[in-house]
Amino acid sequence: MLVMPTIIVTLFCVSWVFEKYDLFDIEPANNRLVDEIDEIRVAEAKDKIVIYCPYSWNILLRLDAEPSRWEGIELESRRIFKPSVKAAGSYLKIGMAEYNTDVLIIGQS
């Protein structure tokens, strides 16, 4: 049975993401979503914002200041990609990812 190795790999990946992007201080911030979509989750800290999306979707956010660096992680294969992020009036639009699987999108100042 390969349950234990799978759990170890999953825990390693979660640990890697939290350490690489210093996500230990994030707090829920779904109020940043313009469209309330139950499946999408947003969290933020002083200098970063993290968005979890289970499928490809255009996302509009209300932000006070736009983070300068953006990265996405396609969680199934752990591929890192550059998300499409543009100002859209008083909002920030994150375009649909090219992957139709779970993704994390991380913006840092």
Give the span between the Cα atoms of 34 and 22, in whole angstroms.
26
Q: Which CATH class is domain 25-108?
A: mainly beta
Average confidence (pLDDT) over 86-94: 89
List the domain boundaries for the chain: 25-108
pLDDT of residue 27: 95
More confident residue, 54 or 8: 54
What are 52-68's pLDDT values in tens digits? 998 888 999 998 877 88
Q: Is the pLDDT of residue 80 over 60?
A: yes
Closest CA to 39 of 58, 52, 21, 23: 52
Q: Is the pLDDT of residue 33 over 90?
A: yes
DSSP secondary structure code for residue 33 in this structure? B
Q: Is the pLDDT of residue 102 over 80?
A: yes
Average confidence (pLDDT) over 69-83: 90
